[in-house]
């Protein structure tokens, strides 16, 4: 069984397009979706054998949000609609909320801008 890659599979153009397709009805319904639900749907749509771990979906949501903000800096933060099993957004949204509504630069934002967790963002950034 071939392993999947967050950077090359889940955050690929197809992976991000599917993720956006999942989120748009969620926005219209004023609802939420879990990391696990997105993971399951990406596994099916990208034809990834085995399990896609929900923990990687935060990278997908963040990468998608970065792409959206590159086009429209005032766009709604749809990544806050992706919830964990406790029905709250993951800590990755903190940097986006601080950027939008103010607050000090902290670790999560540094990660998003190129630290350890920035791999996915860098791998799909425009040239």
The most distant pair of C-alpha atoms in the chain lies apart, rounded to whole Å, by: 45
Give the residues across from 34 on adjacent strands: 83
CA distances from 58 to 4, 65, 99 (A): 16, 10, 17
- pLDDT tens column, 7-41: 778 889 999 999 999 999 999 999 999 999 999 99
Locate the domains of the chain by residue range. 6-113
pTM for the model: 0.76
DSSP code for 51:
P
* 3-state DSSP assignment of residue 100: helix
pLDDT digits (tens, 9 = 90+) for 77-120: 999 999 998 888 888 899 999 999 886 555 544 444 444 333 33
Provide the 3-class DSSP secondary structure of residue 64.
Answer: helix
Do residues 80 and 89 lie in contact, with contact meaning Cβ atoms separated by under 8 Å?
Answer: yes
């Amino acid at each position: 069984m071939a392993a999947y890659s967050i950077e090359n599979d889940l955050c690929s153009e197809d992976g991000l397009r599917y993720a956006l397709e999942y989120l748009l009805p969620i926005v219209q319904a004023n609802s939420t979706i879990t990391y696990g639900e997105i993971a399951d749907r990406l596994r099916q749509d990208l034809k990834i054998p085995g399990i896609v771990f929900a923990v990687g979906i935060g990278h997908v949501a963040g990468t998608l949000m970065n792409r959206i903000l590159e086009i429209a800096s005032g766009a709604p933060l749809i990544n806050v609609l992706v919830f964990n099993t406790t029905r709250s957004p993951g800590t990755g949204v903190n940097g986006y909320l601080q950027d939008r509504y103010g607050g000090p630069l902290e670790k999560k934002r540094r990660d998003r801008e190129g630290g350890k967790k920035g791999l996915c963002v860098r791998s799909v950034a425009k040239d």
